[in-house]
Amino acid sequence: MIQDAGSQLATADAAVLAAGVPVRVFAIHVISGGGGAAVLTLRNGSTASGTVWVTETGTTSRGKTVSFGTQGILFPAGCFVDFDTNTASVLVTYSKA
């Protein structure tokens, strides 16, 4: 059984699970606002100054799901979700590493 796993909805910049906790991200679902396509960045670390590991672009006024496969992507220093102004929300599916 996987412990400390689930989904987290973020509506602004946020750490996944908790700041600095190693986490494996399996999928994201990005919701873009009506002002344009969202640009969402996943950073290794606990702040917006962490190293960029993934950048995804959404579609204006729509949702977009991105799967990282059964192994996911490991963020050893924690995962920080960094929004742009067109991102309404993101749902992150994760497990504690």
**34-66 confidence digits (pLDDT tens):** 888 999 999 999 999 999 999 998 888 889 999
Residue 3 pLDDT > 80, yes or no?
A: no
Judged by phi (left if over 0) then psi (alpha if -120 to 50, else beta), residue 34 lies in: alpha
Nearest to 9 by CA among 86, 96, 81, 95: 81
For the chain, the domain total comes to: 1
Q: What range defines the domain where residue 10 resides?
A: 5-96
Q: Which amino acid is at 39?
A: V
Residue 29 pLDDT > 90, yes or no?
A: yes
Helix, coil or strand: residue 20: coil
CATH assignment at residue 43: 2.60.120
| Structure confidence at residue 2 (pLDDT) | 59
Instruction: Answer yes or no: are the C-beta atoms of 95 and 1 closer than 8 Å.
Output: no
Whole-structure pTM over 0.85, yes or no? yes
Instruction: Answer yes or no: are the C-beta atoms of 81 and 92 closer than 8 Å.
Output: yes
> Cα Rg for the chain, rounded, in angstroms?
12
